[in-house]
């Protein structure tokens, strides 16, 4: 059997110019995006001005367009946008980084009108704009001194009104490549813009203005690049409370050896902010925490260490662990102990875990640490309390316990199966059938006397009870034996 031909530059050259030209022309008739790339390549052969003219023509059309792009045309539209970016980077950029950046910025500026014309919930269109901005950073080092000095002005003109923060993204891309003098000059231009009053928008009731927001952020990026921490902090203090990032400032101050100031910032707790609830906490009825609460406690402890207050640092780490059963908090506490002190500390920690009323949180911790022997003991101790509705936790733990702790695994698999059948969750009958099959495997390793010690039925009696209570659920029983 002949081997399939491999597509390489060399193998394609062997086809000859006429054959390749014919293939390209045929494909141009089938693929509009490919046709545009070919036209760009032809323009590129005539020089950068010809390519720039072709790109400008396409950008003109993009800027004028008003019609909504239906979902079934989204892919073709995205490919057209990608062709524009590819043409700029592959055909124009090698000849002139300045001309290429100008077109990339003009393209990036079209995002405001484009996002009004299409539902981009999948983020595919945004990805093209993100690539365009990324390429500005790639080309920035190739600019001459005069063009580099004008780059901030050009970026502002194109992106200052972006509600998506694209001027910030562009700044992040180019700042590493701009001289200090250019950065300082840019900062002076941004100062009055960053001080203008934000407008009410209905974004959660917060004031918001894209110009004020972006310029304030960029001024901080410039200060960070210049190593001017005091200016960065002054800008941060002038921001609305909901936009302040005290942990980032504290981390920066700690790195600069200014631990006392860092501690003040680490202890700031802005109003609002994102809240989280871990899966295990949801099973306990809910324990809502600030998203940054764990990071805040760890950072504050590190700052206290830097200040020489080891005792306070360890007390904070232990308090965080006690309240949340966060493995990271315990790991940090153990790491800060002296030699041979960890064993007593771990005994204390595990005793605390076994004593808490929040059994799901405790189980999640023990299975993840891992201390599977204690996890199994907890499951057996609370044998009749587990609720299979929290299958995200119990199914994973049950599987983990199968090998060495069959009784605990049996308890959890029964809880999972009981919940599926009691609630008639037909979509989960396949999982239920697999749980029943696994219970049969585990039963061969268990003595009924061991099971009955916990007030539970043996496997045969348990299955008979299922048949009596749920015998009419044919959708389930039809899957038994096939799992």
The DSSP 8-state label assigned to residue 141 in this structure reads G
Q: How far is 225 from 122, CA to CA, in rounded Å?
A: 34
Statement: residue 480 has pLDDT above 60: yes
Would you put residue 481 in left (φ > 0), alpha (ψ -120 to 50) or beta? left
What's residue 432's pLDDT?
A: 96
Confidence of residue 50 (pLDDT cuts 50, 70, 90): confident
What's residue 2's pLDDT?
A: 47
Q: Tell me the two tokens of residue 414.
A: 């029964």
What's residue 443's pLDDT?
A: 95
Q: How far is 189 from 296, CA to CA, in rounded Å?
A: 35
Confidence of residue 12 (pLDDT cuts 50, 70, 90): low
Statement: residue 178 has pLDDT above 70: yes
Spell 13-52 as b/e; 16+ CB within 10 A means b. eeeeeeeeeeeeeeeeeeeeeebbbebbeebbeeebebbb
Angle in degrees, CA 106, 31, 8, rounded to 5? 95
Q: How far is 349 from 351, CA to CA, in rounded Å?
A: 5
**What is the arithmetic mean of pLDDT over 16-40?**
57
Coil, strand or helix: which one is 181?
A: helix
What's residue 4's pLDDT?
A: 53
Confidence of residue 29 (pLDDT cuts 50, 70, 90): low
Contact by Cβ (8 Å): 310, 336: yes
Give me the phi and psi of 393, to 5 degrees please: -85, -50
Q: How far is CA 212 from the centre of its chain?
A: 26
Q: Tell me the two tokens of residue 346.
A: 């771990």
Distant-in-sequence contacts of 391-394, Cβ < 8 A, 24+ apart = 391/416, 391/419, 391/428, 391/431, 392/279, 393/279, 393/280, 393/283, 393/360, 393/363, 393/364
Spell 239-270 as b/e; 16+ CB within 10 A means b. beeeebbbbebbbbbbeeebbebbbebbeeee
Q: How far is 16 from 14, CA to CA, in rounded Å?
A: 5
Give me the phi and psi of 338, to 5 degrees please: -80, 175
Statement: residue 284 has pLDDT above 80: no
Question: Which residue, among 52, 71, 196, 175, has the nearest Cα to 124 in the 3D structure?
Answer: 71
What's residue 79's pLDDT?
A: 94
Report CA-CA distances (Å) from 428 to 153, 409, 410, 422. 59, 19, 18, 12
Q: How far is CA 362 from the centre of its chain?
A: 27
Statement: residue 205 has pLDDT above 60: no
Determine how many CB atoms are found less than 10 A away from the CB of residue 203: 9
Q: Parse the chain into domains and list their residue ranges.
A: 14-178, 269-369, 373-483
pTM equals: 0.77
Confidence of residue 400 (pLDDT cuts 50, 70, 90): very high
What's residue 11's pLDDT?
A: 62
Coil, strand or helix: which one is 276?
A: strand
Lowest-confidence region among 127-131, 199-203, 255-259, 432-436 = 199-203
Looking at per-residue confidence, does 113 or 14 come out higher? 113
Residues β-bridged to residue 199: 208
Give me the phi and psi of 270, to 5 degrees please: -60, 150
What's residue 1's pLDDT?
A: 44
The DSSP 8-state label assigned to residue 471 in this structure reads T
Axis crossing angle, helix 406-422 with helix 372-381, rounded to the nearest 10? 50
**Peptide bond connecting 370 to the previous residue in cis, omega within 30 degrees of 0:** yes
DSSP result, 26-66: HHHHH-HHHHHHHHHHHHHTT-HHHHHHHHHHHHHHHHH--
**What is the arithmetic mean of pLDDT over 88-98?**
93
Looking at per-residue confidence, does 435 or 19 come out higher? 435
């Amino acid at each position: 059997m002949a081997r399939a031909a491999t597509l390489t530059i060399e193998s394609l050259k062997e086809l000859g110019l006429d054959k390749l030209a014919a293939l390209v022309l045929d494909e141009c008739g089938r693929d509009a995006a490919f046709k545009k790339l070919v036209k760009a390549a032809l323009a590129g052969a005539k020089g950068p001005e010809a390519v720039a003219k072709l790109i400008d023509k396409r950008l003109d059309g993009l800027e004028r367009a008003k019609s909504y792009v239906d979902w079934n045309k989204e892919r073709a539209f995205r490919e057209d946008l990608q062709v524009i970016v590819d043409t700029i980077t592959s055909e124009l950029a090698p000849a002139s980084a300045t001309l290429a950046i100008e077109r990339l910025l003009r393209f990036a500026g079209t995002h405001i009108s484009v996002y009004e014309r299409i539902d981009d919930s999948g983020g595919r269109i945004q990805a093209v704009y993100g690539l365009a901005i990324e390429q500005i950073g790639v080309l920035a080092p190739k600019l001459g001194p005069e063009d580099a000095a004008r780059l901030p002005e050009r970026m502002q003109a194109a992106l200052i009104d972006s509600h998506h923060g694209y001027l910030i993204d562009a700044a992040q891309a180019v700042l590493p490549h701009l001289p200090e003098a250019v950065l300082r000059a840019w900062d002076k231009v941004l100062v009055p813009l960053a001080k203008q009053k934000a407008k009410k928008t209905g974004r959660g009731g917060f004031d918001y203005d894209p110009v004020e927001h972006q310029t304030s952020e960029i001024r901080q990026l410039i200060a960070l690049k210049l190593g001017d921490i005091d200016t960065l902090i002054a800008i941060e203090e002038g921001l609305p409370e909901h936009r302040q990032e005290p942990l980032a400032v504290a981390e920066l101050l700690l790195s600069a050896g200014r631990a006392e100031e860092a501690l003040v910032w680490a202890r700031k707790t802005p109003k609002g902010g994102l809240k989280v609830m871990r899966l295990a906490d949801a099973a306990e009825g809910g324990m809502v925490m600030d998203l940054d609460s764990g990071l805040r406690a760890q950072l504050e402890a590190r700052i206290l260490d830097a200040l020489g207050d080891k005792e306070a640092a360890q007390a904070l780490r232990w308090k965080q662990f006690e309240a949340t059963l966060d493995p990271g908090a315990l790991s940090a506490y153990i790491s800060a102990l002296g030699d041979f002190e960890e064993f007593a500390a771990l005994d204390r920690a595990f005793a605390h875990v076994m004593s808490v009323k929040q059994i799901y949180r405790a189980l999640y911790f023990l299975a993840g640490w891992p201390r599977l022997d204690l996890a199994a003991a907890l499951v057996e101790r609370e044998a009749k309390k587990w609720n299979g509705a929290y299958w995200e936790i119990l199914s994973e733990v049950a599987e983990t316990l199968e090998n060495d702790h069959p009784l605990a695994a049996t308890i959890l698999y029964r809880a999972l199966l009981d919940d599926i059948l009691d609630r008639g969750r037909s979509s989960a009958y396949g999982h239920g059938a697999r749980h029943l099959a696994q219970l049969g495997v585990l039963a061969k390793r268990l003595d009924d006397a061991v099971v009955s010690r916990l007030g539970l039925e043996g496997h045969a009696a348990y299955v008979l009870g299922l048949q009596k209570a749920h015998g009419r659920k044919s959708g389930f029983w039809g899957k038994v034996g096939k799992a």
